Structure 1
Amino acid sequence: MDRVGNRIFYNKSTGNIIFQTGEAEGNVVPHDDTIEITYLDIPFGTMDYVKSYVSKIDENGNPVVKNYDIPETAEQRRIRELEDALLLATENEVGGIL
Structure 2
Amino acid sequence: PTEAIYQEFDRLLIHAQGQIKKVAEMPCVSLANRLKDCLYQNRQRSCECFPAMEQYRQCVLRASQERVDDMSATEPVMIPVVPPQPVPRPAKPPQQQRSQRSWWRPWTWFK
Q: TM-score, length-normalised on structure 1?
A: 0.24
More strand by share: 1
Q: Which has the larger radius of gyration?
A: 2
Q: TM-score, length-normalised on structure 2?
A: 0.21
